[in-house]
Amino acid sequence: MRPNGRHTAGASQLSALRAWAMGLLLLSAVAISPTTAKAAPSQAAATTHVYLLRGVLNIFSLGLDTIGARLQAQGIPVTVANFVSWSSLADEAATAYKAGRLKTIVLVGHSSGATALPDMIAKLNQLGVPVKLAIGLDSVFKTKLSTGAERYINIYIGDGPGEPVRAAAGLRGKLDNVDVRGSGVGHISIDKNEAIQRRVIAEIDAAIMRSRAPAAHVAEPGAPAAPRQARSAAATAPRN
């Protein structure tokens, strides 16, 4: 028997409709693609580099990878490495800074990576390179900051293995010890906690914004204190 003409026409129209709908879905997917919608990074972000130092064994600080990925999505270059690489990373950052490719240096470390931050800052300072911001997450050994970043934030768990960072005599730059005991985070989870991650990223974003303005003079020891600046964006970041 010959197929019914109306049935054949209906099937043809249905196939065409399906093809049109599929094409529309593909176009919609392209339109909302994160890659397509991503804004170009600002010049300040592009000339910033964030070095994230993991702790021992490279397996307990994977929250730093998440922070790094979020920063990269904002157009901010990052390097994630084990803390034992701090010296070679300092050399790399100094070379880029002196060549004019890098203007703003930010350091973030977790556990032993946080403990290594003062050493990395000291080496960069010796090489004539300033550090805009350093953030330590639960440094596990008594840490003393002898040379400073413009701002150093030590987020630690006061009733856990973390320690407050001590300021050496004559330290220049601002040091903040932030105790997050009672927030529900532990030494292994502090870098993975969503509120902590948002706070770290907010502090980095604020530092980049500050880098667009002329660098603030760091007062010599004993000089009159400058007026307190407005609270950073991280001060309003959610906490657990």
Q: 200: domain CATH number?
A: 3.40.50.1820
Establish if 221 belongs to a structural domain: no
pLDDT at residue number 62: 94
Has residue 16 got a pLDDT over 60?
no
Q: Are 127 and 154 in contact (CB under 8 A)?
A: no
Positive or negative torsion for Cα 50, 54, 60, 65: positive
Establish if 18 belongs to a structural domain: no
Residues 6 or more apart whose CB falls under 8 angstroms from that of 46 comprise 75, 77
Domain tally for the chain? 1
Per-residue confidence band for 114, with pLDDT thresholds at 50, 70 and 90? very high
Whole-structure pTM value: 0.72
Establish if 76 belongs to a structural domain: yes
Establish if 26 belongs to a structural domain: no
Token pair for residue 19? 């093809």
Range of the domain at 70: 42-215
Establish if 14 belongs to a structural domain: no
Choose between 1 and 114: higher pLDDT: 114
Establish if 64 belongs to a structural domain: yes
Token pair for residue 191? 């870098």
Establish if 51 belongs to a structural domain: yes
Mean pLDDT of 190-209: 97
Token pair for residue 36? 């397509």
Establish if 168 belongs to a structural domain: yes
Q: 3-class SS at 95?
A: helix
Q: In 76-221, at which residue ranges do the beta strands (DSSP E only) sit? A: 78-82, 104-110, 133-137, 143-145, 151-156, 165-167, 174-179
Q: How far is CA 231 from the centre of its chain?
A: 19
